[in-house]
Amino acid sequence: MPTFTGTGKIKRRHAYKSHILTKKSKKRKRNLGKISIVDKANMPIVRQLLVK
C-alpha cells in the first residue's frame, strides 16, 4: 500500500522483487528493496486509483 510523504508525494515499492531472485545480482536486489517516489507524470492516475 503506497504511503504519502509530508509534501504529498506518493511512495511506492519497486516491482520484480518477489520471485525469481536467483538470477538477479545482489546490487539489483538491494536497490529493488528501496522505496521510491511515484513519477510526476503518473501522479494523477495513481491518486485517482487510490481514491477508489
Q: Residue 10 burial (CB < 10 Å; 0-12/13-18/19+)? A: middle
Backbone angles phi, psi at 10, to 5 degrees: -105, 125
Local confidence pLDDT in tens for the 52 residues of the chain = 678 999 999 999 999 999 999 999 999 999 999 999 999 999 999 999 998 6
* Prediction pTM value: 0.74
Domain boundaries, the chain: 3-51
